Structure 1
Amino acid sequence: MRMRLTGCLFLLAALASCGGNKGEEKNAKSDSTAKVTQPVPGGPFKMDSSKRYIYLTWDDAPQPPGTNICKQIFQQQGVKATFFMVGMHQFDPRRKRIVDSLRNAYPQFLIANHSYTHGFQNNYKHFYTHVDSALKDFSKAQEELKVPLKIVRLPGNNSWVGKGEIRGPKSTLAVCKGLDSLGYKVIGWDIEWQFKGGSTPVQGADEMVRMVNAKFDNETSNEENTIVILAHDRMFAKPQYADSLTKFIATLKQDPRNVFETIDHYPLVQRK
């Protein structure tokens, strides 16, 4: 009798052990399934030659309420965009929260570097002739804004830099060479949504769409099948201009060839 009881106990223990292992296996599988790889800025990106890539790049953030309004429109429309930030514009807790929210919203949004002082507060001649100071200005913005990648846009100048490839006005050449030696990529623009009076958009939505289509059709952009659009956050603070931005994006989305991407997926940036 004693032997039978002992045998039963061993059997029960073995069954319990098997059941426990199955449960552990199941939990391990659940844990591995739950792990989702989060995209990181600058990861490899394969372009589709049948598509037209549009890069919405907005300058001078953070500039509330314009920055927040643009962000909301991009979210509502489900498109990606890049905000080129100015370090000195992050001067209070509210603006720091805006920067943090955009930095943490990748892959929909990417933040990039637009200098700390915006070219010594628009004193471009002085900025570009004092190369060491200009480079320090970009480095300060990079650090204080916690910009994830070395991607910059020059204040007030349309220049392109990527691993020894430099294009732009002679006035920026020395700074471009310095940025290139430090491993930065410099992004210019193909089309500008212009403004007057400090913040009022010049072109309407329909005209901007025509400009985009013409640029693609004429193949005159900086890179094949791509268009970099420059605008400024503050331009869309008023409802009528916010509506114009919404219409612009909604119209472009009607063409299935159009894809909106962040600037880390631009060919010049992707080239190593």
Structure 2
Amino acid sequence: MAFAAIVLLASCGNNHESKQAVTDSVKAGPPKPVPGTPIKYDSSKRYIYLTWDDGPQPPGSTNCRNIFHEQGVKATFFIVAMNAYDAKRKRWIDTLKNAYPEFLIANHSYTHAFKDNYKKFYKEVDSAVGDIQKAQNEIGYALKVVRLPGMNAWVGGGKRKGPQSSRKVYEMLDSLGYKVIGWDVEWQAKAGATPVQSADQMLKDVNKKFDDETSNQANTVVILAHDRMFAKQQYADSLTRFITLLKQDPRNVFETIDHYPTVQQK
């Protein structure tokens, strides 16, 4: 009889622990998504990928991140690894890593084509690919997704497309399992940091891509800009206006680049 009582008490204790575990699980909510988890596309929607290059470049990088967060939109930051040269910039990258699925970081090489020496970079294929791999290892990107410095090249879904001068580099990256992302619309800059188009013109450029069906993938537009362009308040305000205008169209969905069709395809 005493033995039965002991068993009963133990059983009650285990039941309590089991209920507590369930309660804790409910409180914790669903597991946090990880980069690369596929999404299901809605053919009635227009998918917009905000991709900002060359960070970290404070204060522009911080301004962009804050604007995207305030506007409630997703974005991808293509990081140049050599720009993460101090503790503050590394913390900025860590903040983005921890903010997924709101933000994603991706590879934009270690030296940005040997500090913009594009001819040498793409001629020295092994060194160029090694530069990208070095960035991959040091920053610890979640996925093997890269944008080539200064080259509008695409690799993914069994297809390769880009300038002839960079072909050997993106072909080697393809053989190593990288997806290469170009762009459909560029927010251009003069003198390296001053936006050329207004927010309203950018909206027209994006809508034209959708309407003409001339983007790299159907129902998608990849937008390229650079963090440094939005360091000054007047240009940060222009970015805010651009996002606000895009959000007015209920068809527009903002996604990170891991959910671009050719990245999701195996």
Write the distance in 1 (CA, Å) between the matches of 2:103 and 2:215.
23
| Residue of 231, 237, 248 corresponding to 1:243 | 237
| Residue of 95, 118, 129 corresponding to 1:124 | 118
- Which residue number in structure 1 is paired with residue 17 of structure 2? 24
Write the distance in 2 (CA, Å) between the matches of 1:58 and 1:165.
24
- Gap change, CA 1:17 and 1:87, over 3 Å in 2: closer
- Which residue number in structure 2 is paired with residue 185 of structure 1? 179
Q: TM-score, normalised by structure 2?
A: 0.95
Does the Cα contact within 8 Å between 1:163 and 1:180 map onto a contact in 2? no
- Gap change, CA 1:28 and 1:114, over 3 Å in 2: same
Write the distance in 2 (CA, Å) between the matches of 1:110 and 1:73.
15
Structure 1 residue 125: Cα displacement: 0.7
Percent of residue pairs bearing the same amino acid type: 65
- Which residue number in structure 2 is paired with residue 196 of structure 1? 190
Secondary structure of 1:221's aligned partner? coil
Structure 1 residue 99: Cα displacement: 1.0
Amino acid at match of 2:128: A
Write the distance in 2 (CA, Å) between the matches of 1:53 and 1:10.
65
Structure 1 residue 11: Cα displacement: 10
Does the Cα contact within 8 Å between 1:163 and 1:183 map onto a contact in 2? no
- Which residue number in structure 2 is paired with residue 160 of structure 1? 154
Q: Does 1:218 align with 2:212?
A: yes
- Gap change, CA 1:204 and 1:22, over 3 Å in 2: same
Does the Cα contact within 8 Å between 1:164 and 1:180 map onto a contact in 2? no
Write the distance in 2 (CA, Å) between the matches of 1:14 and 1:155.
68
- Which residue number in structure 2 is paired with residue 77 of structure 1? 71
Structure 1 residue 90: Cα displacement: 0.7
Q: TM-score, normalised by structure 1?
A: 0.93
- Gap change, CA 1:210 and 1:28, over 3 Å in 2: same
Write the distance in 1 (CA, Å) between the matches of 2:45 and 2:37.
20
Q: Which has the larger radius of gyration?
A: 1
- Which residue number in structure 2 is paired with residue 234 of structure 1? 228
Write the distance in 2 (CA, Å) between the matches of 1:17 and 1:140.
55
| Residue of 245, 255, 258 corresponding to 1:261 | 255
5+ residue gaps, structure 2: none
Deviations 1:121-163 (A, max 9, x none): 1110100010000010000011111111000001011000115
Aligned CA RMSD, in angstroms, stands at 1.8
Amino acid at match of 2:265: R
5+ residue gaps, structure 1: 1-6
How many corresponding residue pairs? Answer: 265
- Which residue number in structure 2 is paired with residue 112 of structure 1? 106
Greater alpha carbon shift after TM alignment, 28-37 vs 189-198: 28-37
Amino acid at match of 2:118: Y
Amino acid at match of 1:172: S
